[in-house]
Amino acid sequence: MSLPPPVLPDVLVPGLRVVFCGYAPGTASARAGAYYAGPGNRFWPTLHEVGLAPLLLRPAEFARLPEFGVGLTDVSKTASGSDQEVGRRGVDPERLVAAIEAASPTHLAFNGKNAARAALGRPVTYGRRPERLGGATVWVLPSTSGAARGFWNIEPWRELARAIEGQ
């Protein structure tokens, strides 16, 4: 049985400083064919503000991220919508581990607790985690989704950026 194609392609190449991992592409991202394309999503401005991208990229420019040592993936590659709409459809922690092992980034940063819980199989808190996944240091960051605005805090994102820049 063949798997459905990914909603969005991974942006994973060897030598990345950090890979950001979401739960699944949102509806607007799936429609646009670009990561973090929802009108209320803070991903692109945050990436620029904390210094991980030297310019403010548009969602359609996501394939440029490796120029800055940044990659992208999701825990579910074959479903899209809100985390609730996706549920467990397409959630594949083993695929994620294999993809991270192959790309071998220094850091793996989950964009939101839901993505981290799905990948790690347990409750999590924000910040740097003690475990490694696929060889990468694990971080859990507040979700940039507009739907998670009530939980937003840029500080864990800044902490990650400082750790990356300090290497």
Query: Between the CA of residue 99 and those of 72, 135, 153, what are the distances in Å?
Result: 11, 11, 28
Asked if residue 9 belongs to a domain, the reply is: no
Confidence of residue 19 (pLDDT cuts 50, 70, 90): very high
**Averaged pLDDT, 73-87:** 82
**Averaged pLDDT, 120-136:** 95
Asked if residue 102 belongs to a domain, the reply is: yes
Q: What is the pLDDT of residue 101?
A: 97
**Averaged pLDDT, 14-23:** 96
Asked if residue 18 belongs to a domain, the reply is: no
Number of domains forming the structure of the chain:
1
Asked if residue 57 belongs to a domain, the reply is: yes
Which residue range(s) make up the domain with 43?
A: 27-165
Asked if residue 39 belongs to a domain, the reply is: yes
Confidence of residue 85 (pLDDT cuts 50, 70, 90): confident
Alpha carbon distance 68, 14 (integer Å): 13
Asked if residue 152 belongs to a domain, the reply is: yes
Asked if residue 105 belongs to a domain, the reply is: yes
Asked if residue 96 belongs to a domain, the reply is: yes
CATH code of the domain containing 32: 3.40.470.10
**Span 27-57, pLDDT tens digits:** 999 999 999 999 999 999 999 999 999 999 9
pLDDT of residue 99 exceeding 90, the answer is yes
CB 10, CB 66: distance < 8 Å: no
